Structure 1
Amino acid sequence: MSVKEPSLDTTATTSRAVQFESFGGPEALRIRDVQAPQAGPGQIRVRVTAAGLNPMDWYMTSDAETAGRFGLSLPCGFGTDYAGVVDQVGEGVSEFVVGDRVYGGAMSRAVADHVLVDVAGTIAVGGEAHRTPDGVDDHTAATLTIAGRTAAAALAVVNPRPGETVLIGGAGGGVGVFAVQLARIAGARVIGTGSATSADALRALGAEPVAYGDGVVDRVRALAPAGIDAVMDLHGTDTAQAARDLGVPDQRITTIAAQVDGITPANGANAAPAALEEIADLVAAGRLRVPIAASFPVEQIRAAVELQAARHVHGKVVIDL
């Protein structure tokens, strides 16, 4: 997909930003004209071209109590993953220049025309930026940070090895599309759970599809009579429980959306420092692809969030700015 070239107006004083004036669902989202942020010392300003959506975006802002746990208060922005072009460079910054293509994360403020990023920051504090490799378009770059890091962290927990068989629950979701391909690149056979409508999408990623729900243990045994070596549950706890029923040891099981006693959860914040750049390089080399399920102009932000929150899309949802 192509993304229109942004206008690099380094003197812009106004900016559009998607915000919450009260916490809640998609109906609470508003597009506001705000004062454009200006890059200070140690900062860059990014003219955002695309923002990728993740379940954490709407989870964090669903109510005041949850938002408070993430340090968010009203008025609050929305979205974390972004891609775009540097259009301002603050004093003391040597890592980037105006015109550099970048991608990264800025917690709950990425869906906006302009995002300030601290060059030495983190996703949660100040934001972070990485150079977008040649051969990676902005739509794809805008999907990498949260899902890619989370998938890398999950793989690090279960450590799939060549010749092993890995079961991935929720394999067609935003994290799943990365986890399936990374496990295949590691040399593992992958069985992925999903709905009947996701079967072709899973096969395209390199996974053998199996329907989730009642009877999944028997269906997995039929596909892998020699057994399952490692399991990643990317949706809840059902696949983790199935893993135990299949005799998989707890140390080879992980979850990302729930915690189970005895099982180590995976958190993208704990991914190896170079994991994200390695994923971007795999995309640039054509070894990993990110299916974009849908893209929406920012004016349709509510419809985009409703689609993403339904958890039935096969791939990623992206906002164009």
Structure 2
Amino acid sequence: MQVQSRRPAGSRSRVVRLDSFGGPEVLDVRDVPAPQAGPGQLRVRVTAAGLNPMDWIMTADGATAARFGLTLPAGFGTDYAGVVDQVGTGVTGFAPGDRVFGAALSRAVADFVVVDAAGQTAANEAHHTPDGVDDRTAATLTIAGRTASAALAAVDPGPDDTVLIGGAGGGVGVFAVQLARVRGARVIGTGSAATADHLRDLGAEPVAYGDGLADRVRALAPAGVTAAIDLHGVETVHVARELGIPVGRSCTIAAQVDGVPAANGANAPAGALAEIAGLVAAGRLRVPVAASFPIEQIRRAAELQAGRHVRGKVVIDLRMASS
């Protein structure tokens, strides 16, 4: 195998490893030999890794991990951004020094990741990072962006629509609200009173979740709501039925409700990430980074993410990693 490299082939890598499944307390930072790019693969020097709820959900217990094909010892985190460090034989379209972002399922929080250059799998991929998109932002795009894009595709909002988005202030909501607004839709977003300004900044009209949600939505939109996306549980889709929204114009991402489509980021429309990255580069979509942590504070970062009350994204900063 021939490999082009900007770093010594025998360099080391810090990685987050789990020797048992569980909560943030099982996350440890280890120093291991750096992986090497094989044929058709890229090695990426990671500068930032974005966290998502799926990261701790799929490593919480063995049964869930098995559904994602994970075995012990396992890594942690899926979204990454960085610089191509090695290019394996047969790879075209990438060269050492290229800035990239993408997904490496449950192994992104590390100094180096190896991914397939062809990007045939949604959680094993690399995409060129456009000029104007910094690495911390690029590291937040893949999972949440794909999921939001799939949800938008399920309800297909346009300029004549008013969309109710449940959990609008979270990591996926950041994208869903802004993508709906780009399509010309009016957006009403559920959240706590403390998130109201955050939702307004994204372009949504805030409404408090909880008992009486349907009445509060009617007061905001007396002409009616035409589509609904539930990014947190089932409250929003049940309210959607109460408001008379057709089942075909509602969807969930985190729960199963009979008759309601469930959006999956793996089935996002072709070109979804290119569209999102382009919108970021053009200044039409922004991603609030709620907090950034060094890799050594991975447990603290995971605890914050697992609390499900983050306004924006949580990022692990690996820019100062050693060789």
TM-score if structure 1 supplies the norm length?
Answer: 0.96
C-alpha distance in 2, partners of 1:47/1:10? 12
Please list every run of 5 or more consecutive structure 1 residues that lacks an aligned counterpart in the other structure.
Answer: 1-6
Match of 2:197 in 1: 200
Matched residue SS, 1:82:
strand
Which residue in 1 is equivalent to 2:253? 256
Q: 2-side partners of 1:19 and 1:212: how far apart?
A: 37
CA offsets, 1:192-232, max 9 Å, x none?
00011100000001000000001111100000011100000
The residue that corresponds to 1:98 in the other structure is 96
1:22-57 CA-to-partner distances (Å, cap 9, x unmatched) read 000000001011111111111110000000000000
- Alignment partner, residue 229 of structure 1: 226
Cα deviation digits, residues 69-122 of structure 1 (max 9, x gap): 111000000000000000111111121000000000010000000000111244
Match of 1:269 in 2: 266
Q: How many residues align?
A: 314
Deviations 1:283-313 (A, max 9, x none): 0000000010110011100000100110111
Aligned mates of 2:53, 2:93 — CA distance in 1: 31
**Superposed CA RMSD:** 1.2
- Is residue 288 from structure 1 mapped to residue 285 from structure 2 by the alignment? yes
Report 1:1-321 matches (<5 A). 9-123=7-121, 127-321=124-318
- Matched-pair contact (CA < 8 Å) for 2:122–2:266: no
> 1:37 touches 1:114 (CA, 8 Å); kept in 2?
yes
Q: Secondary structure at the match of 1:288?
A: coil
Name the aligned partner's letter for residue 148 of structure 1: G
Residues in 1 aligned to 2:230 and 2:143: alpha-carbon distance in whole angstroms? 16
Q: Using the alignment, how far apart are the partners of 1:31 and 1:213 within structure 2?
A: 40
CA distance in 1, matches of 2:196, 2:160: 23
Q: Secondary structure at the match of 2:286?
A: coil
**TM-score, normalization by structure 2:** 0.95
**Equivalent position amino acid for 2:274 in 1:** E
Aligned twin of 1:3: none
SS in 2 for 1:300: helix
Residue 163 of structure 1: how far off its partner (Å): 2.6
CA contact (8 A) 1:107 1:123 kept: no
Output the amino acid matched with 1:256: I
Please give the alpha-carbon distance, in whole angstroms, between the structure 1 residues aligned to 2:136 and 2:8.
Answer: 23
- Cα 1:123–1:78 change in 2 (3 A) is farther
Q: 1:303 to 1:123 in 2, by over 3 A?
A: farther
Q: CA offsets, 1:146-199, max 9 Å, x none?
A: 000000000000000113100000000000000000000100000000011100
* Cα distance in 2, alignment partners of residues 23 and 164 from structure 1: 43
3-state SS in 2 of match to 1:202: helix
Q: Residue type matched to 2:76 in 1?
A: F
Aligned-partner Cα distance in 2 for 1:11–1:283: 34
Amino acid at match of 2:197: D
Q: How far apart, in 1, do the equivalents of 2:182 and 2:110 lie?
A: 35
User: Letter of the aligned partner of 2:11 in structure 1?
Assistant: T
Corresponding letter in the other structure for 1:27? E
CA distance in 2, matches of 1:22, 1:90: 32
Which secondary structure state, in structure 1, belongs to the residue aligned with residue 137 of structure 2? helix
The one-letter code sitting in structure 2 at the alignment partner of 1:214 is: D
- The DSSP-based 3-state class of the residue aligned with 1:146 is helix
Change (3 A) 1:123 1:319: farther
Cα drift, residue 123 of structure 1: 4.4
What is the rounded CA distance, in whole Å, between the counterparts of 2:121 and 2:209 in structure 1?
33
SS at structure 2 position matched to 1:183: helix
Judged with a 3 Å threshold, the aligned counterparts in structure 2 of structure 1 residues 301 and 123 are, in CA distance, closer, same or farther, namely farther
